[in-house]
Structure formats: structure tokens, C-alpha cells
Amino acid sequence: MIWIDWLIVLVYLVLTLWLGLYLSRRASGSLVDFFVSGRSLPWWLAGTSMAATTFSIDTPLYIAGVVGTRGIAGNWEWWSFGIAHVVMIYVFSRLWRRSEIVTDAELTELRYGGHMGAWLRGIKAFLFAVPINCIGIGYAMLAMVKVITALQLWESLGFEPGDNTKLWSVIGVSLFVLVYAGLSGLWGVVATDFFQFFLALLGAIVVAGAALIKIGGMGTLVEQINTQFGSDTLALIPLRWGDGGGFRWSETAGISVNTFLAYIGLQWWAFRRSDGGGEFIQRLAASKNEAEAEKAAWFFNILHYVVRTWPWVIVALAAMVVYPTLEDRELGYPLLMLDFLPPVLLGLVVASLIAAFMSTVSTLINWGASYLTNDLYARFVDRDASDEELVFAGRVASVLVTVFGAIAAFYAQDVTTIFRLVIAIGTGPGLVLILRWFWWRINAAAELASMIAGFMIGLLTISIADPATAQNPLLIGLAWLQARVTILQTNDFGQRLLVIAGITTVIWVTVMYLTPPETPATLERFYRKVRPGGPGWNRQRVELGERPIRLITFVGGWPQIGFDQPGISPEQDLLLQAQQVIAALGLLFGSMFAIGGFLLLQPLIGWVGLVIAVLGSLWLRQLKRARIEPMPRPGLEDASSKLDGR
């Protein structure tokens, strides 16, 4: 990098700081203003911010590593979460906005009551704010150090720093982020996210275009990939038509049949983000209304899967051709930048990577501080705190989260290990998090049991490379246990997910039936507030004088499946939303595969994807006629009179 590149980076940093400070006035009014932007975000800003939070500095490097070692189909490792994200659009986005919470931990005490509900809220807030969130910040900092090393940024200034010096420079950027995130709250975060996302996307497109020009175009790229690495590398799904006829499973993707089926049939509902996810929920809760929250979720899915996937994939394929013997495939992205981008463009793309890092860190700072302030300080320390005190507490919490993340970053090896262990907690509670919305019998004890069981079973199913040579006492004990309880011993990720989800489900269901349900007053309060659909709340409907909803009704002597009955107009029709989810999945993945198919010169895949996308779009248009109206805001309109008047 030369002086003009550094000038571009400096201008970007100054503009970001100015925008964040300019918006600081909007975050000073109350806790709601600081952490959910006064519930006034438009859909396009909330959706872009959701996409920006998933675009960290290590994301394009991760995609380069996945494609370089396992082909395009290896991306199902994260594509599979598209199922949960589409479910979030139609099933959960309106529910989260309707609940009017600040954090997902706050919903715990709205849904459950008593000491168990309070304890569960506090435990979740602490886990998400400190270990999980701060390790995420530390992990992002370490990824930034890797990029700085690969791009030789310090060396371009004539310095030869060690790894600790590079890490301190990253922490310096994080403190820079803290200034605007800590002063402007979520408004500053989402506003800077908007520009940071499109700058980061532009950077990826620039690198992809420069690489294609140097290689000789897409045709040459596809030809060389097929020649050097085989056609399986370009497969969009790990299922290929064999030369001798019939389908065969691709080994290139590194995904077994069990793992692929677990991705698309298990992981999306068993994961702890099955009903949304912390940062996403914060944006949905901050949207202007329920309709805006649903649009924001849709916009996120389009940006995340349809728009952003293919620039990353093209860069990864180009790196395979240009650097065929590169050991660390993740370094292909920064190497292409250094070798192919001229001055000015190089500075622009470096600024885009810094933008990706800053958008992730600013989100994690604000998100973590929201738990510490709303769910710990305001709930357990000072319940009578004024708005000014809570905003000040939020800013102090932002500083604490940043400091904890910086400390975590200095324990590089340990952080990597702990981060993998933290992920283990995510596989157990997903089903409970879904059912708590739709079945009154789920209680706080069941959710707590699912969290603990998922975490413990996740640890107990860790694969040990060579049990005979294990020296750590914990690994020795785990190897002994796995040798006697063989169900815990599996090297297949899909089977491991099934074991964790299965055992966890047995445990939380048992705990649920051994413990009493929530009190009628607690359940009625939640139902009145959220008005979820389905027959799981019929007991509360009857108690409130409403007619119950049946899965099967008889019309003219014939059975009819549906949740609607004459005289009932629920705020959520689950059968309608299930159809919308299926149609939207066709539209989303059809569009993604259509673009990928035509781009990679696979016209059959392109046309099939396009047809599926069009059919999904037409189906959604038809279903839109039965669209659910948003709930009236409390105090502005009586819900019951509205229902009776329909």
C-alpha cells in the first residue's frame, strides 16, 4: 500500500466516526433509544444491518477456505441456515416485534414467571454478554490480525512488528469503534452498518472482477477449475450424475450424506438461534412495526444469500487457479488483493475489510452491553434507575464488553478451543425455543434443562483423534466414557448433531413433565401480549372467552385442515405461514442457484433455479391475499374489539 491507499482508509475512518457521533443525540433519551433505536428503524436499514453483522473480516477468508478445500458445495455448512432465516421471516419476525422486548433474554421473563424465569433470564444474559459475545469479539480481532499479516500493512509503512503489536493495533481500531458505538447506541451501529456493508460488498466485487480479468474471463476460470481440480469442485449440491449413469455422492465437499441431511433437516431447528438469534432479534425489535420487521428479515436473506454469495465464491475459485499449491486457502483472498489490485482500488478494498471488521465489532459491543444493562443491571441491581442512569450504564457496559473482548483476543489458542466448545451449547435448546411460542406447557425448567443438556452432550461427543495417546486427564476420562457409551463416539458431524438433539430432547421433555407449568397469570400475560397462533394456546383462549382453534374441523361432514374457524381471526395463521416458508425457500434458493448456475456456465442448473424461483414468487403472491394484519399497538386500539369487528 502507498500513501493514496492509506489516505482512503483514513477518510473512511473519519467519515464513520463523524456519522456515529452525529447520531449520538438520538441515543440519549432512554434505554429503548440506546439499544433498539426507539423502535423506529425502517426495514431497509434494519435488514442491511442484519446482513452487515454476518459479514465479518474473516468471512470472505472462510469462504475462500471452504471452496478451496471442499468445493462450492461445502458452503452448505452455512447455506443450510437459510431455512431458519426464512422461517424467521414469516413465523417469528412479527412475534418478536409484537413482544416489544429489548433483548431475547427479556422474553424469558415475559414467557416464564417466578424465580426460575428470573434466574433463566440472568443466566442467559450473562452467557451471551460475557463468554459467548466477548469470545466472538476476540475471535474477530484475531482474524483481523491474520489479514493485517497477509496484506503486510505494517510492512508497507516500514515497520516489522510482532504479533502482539499487530493485535494492539487491532484493539486500537476496536476502541475507535467503541467511541461511536458507545455514544450513539444502536442508531450509530445500524447507520454505519449500512455504509460498511455496501463498501465491503463493493470490495468483494472489485477483487472478483480484477481476478477474472487477469485469468481471462469466466470461461477460462471454469475450464481451469475442471482441469486442475475436477468438476465436483463446481457442484452446487454434493450430488452428481455419474459417468456410468445414476447419481453419486460427491466426496469433494467433505460432507457425508448424514451430515448433509442433518444440515437441511435438523440443524436449522435444533440450533439455539432457531427462532431468530440475538443480533437479529435486536434489529427486529427495533423496527417501526411488525410489517417492517418482516420486510427487514426478507431483505437480510436477499443480501446474505442471493447477493453476497457469488463474489466470494468467484474470488475463491480464482485463488485456486492462481495459487494452486497454496497451503492455507484462506489467504487466497488477501493475496489476490496484493497481486492484482492497483493503488486506489487496493486502498478501497482494504477499507472494505476494515468496514467488515468494524460492523461486526460494533454490533457485538452494543448487543453485549444490552444484556448487561437491560437484563442484569436494570433487572437485578437497580430496578428504579432513571433513563439517564440506564443510558450511562449502557455506555459503561459497552466499554466493559470491549475490554473483555480484547483480553480474550490475547489467548489465541485457548479462544479457538473455547469458541468451539461454546458452539456446542447451541445444538440443544432450538426445539424448546420454537415450542415456547406455540405451546403453553413449555416451562422455564425445560428451557434451562435444554441449555445445560445441549452443552454437556456437545462436550461429551467431542471427537478425540487418538484416545490411546491422550494425556489431558479430561480427554482420558472422556475417551473412557465414550468407549463404554458408544452412542457418544462418532466422527460424523451429522450423527453427532442427531445424538445431541435426540438426547437433549429426551432430557428436557422429562424435566418439563416432572416440573409444574407456568402459572395461569403468567401464561395469560404472554398470550395477551404476543397472540401466537396454533392450537397450543387453546386453554388460554377458552379462559379469555375466545373459541379454541382446532387443527381439523368438519365442514359439511367432511374433514378440513386449518387453523381458522368462523368467528376467529388469529394474529398468526401457522398453516398459511408454513406455505409461505416453503414458497420463500423456493424463491430464495432458486434465485441463488439461478445466478450461480448461469455465472458458472451451468445453464441447466440456472434454468431449473430460475423456474423454481418464479414458481415460489407466484405462490407467495397468491398467499399474500391471506396476509395477517399487524397487531395494534397497546394503548392505541383494543385488540378484542378489532377481532370482533372483523
Instruction: Quick: pLDDT tens for 43-61.
Output: 999 999 999 988 887 788 8
The listed range with the strongest mean pLDDT (122-131, 160-169, 235-244, 462-471) is 122-131
Q: What percent of the chain has pLDDT over 90?
A: 35
Q: Name the band, by pLDDT with cuts 50, 70 and 90, for residue 522.
A: very high
pTM for this prediction: 0.88
Task: Summarize the confidence of residues 201-206 as an average pLDDT.
Answer: 90
Last residue of a domain, one of 389, 406, 421: 421
Task: Summarize the confidence of residues 239-252 as an average pLDDT.
Answer: 71
More confident residue, 570 or 73: 73
Say yes or no to pLDDT of 483 above 70: yes
What integer pLDDT is reported at residue 469 of this predicted model?
64
CA angle (638, 640, 642) in 5-degree steps: 70
Q: Name the band, by pLDDT with cuts 50, 70 and 90, for residue 636.
A: very low
Q: Are 230 and 211 in contact (CB under 8 A)?
A: no
Residue 560 maps to a domain:
no
Residue 75 maps to a domain:
yes
Say yes or no to pLDDT of 263 above 90: no
Here the CATH number for the domain that contains residue 192 is 1.20.1730.10
Last residue of a domain, one of 388, 421, 454: 421
Q: Name the band, by pLDDT with cuts 50, 70 and 90, for residue 481.
A: confident
Q: Cα Rg for the chain, rounded, in angstroms?
A: 25
**Which range is least confidently modeled, 254-258, 325-329, 495-499?**
254-258
- Single-letter amino acid code for the residue at 49: S
Measured CA to CA, the distance from residue 269 to residue 508 in angstroms comes to 15
Measured CA to CA, the distance from residue 180 to residue 198 in angstroms comes to 19
CA angle (525, 527, 529) in 5-degree steps: 70
Q: How many domains does the chain have?
A: 2
Q: What percent of the chain has pLDDT over 70?
A: 87
Contacts of 19 (CB under 8 A, 6+ apart): 180, 188, 191, 192, 195
Task: Summarize the confidence of residues 632-642 as an average pLDDT.
Answer: 42
| Residue whose C-alpha cell is 459479514 | 55
Residue 516 maps to a domain:
no
The listed range with the strongest mean pLDDT (49-63, 107-121, 554-568) is 107-121
Measured CA to CA, the distance from residue 600 to residue 645 in angstroms comes to 55
Q: Which pLDDT tens digit goes with each residue over 219-235?
A: 999 999 999 888 888 98
Last residue of a domain, one of 421, 455, 470: 421
Residue 466 maps to a domain:
no
| Residues spanned by the domain of 589 | 573-634
Say yes or no to pLDDT of 139 above 80: no
Say yes or no to pLDDT of 642 above 80: no
Say yes or no to pLDDT of 569 above 50: no
**Which range is least confidently modeled, 422-426, 448-452, 563-567?**
563-567
Residue 455 maps to a domain:
no
Residue 295 maps to a domain:
yes
249 phi-psi bin (left φ>0, alpha ψ -120 to 50, beta other): beta
Residue 527 maps to a domain:
no
Residue 85 maps to a domain:
yes
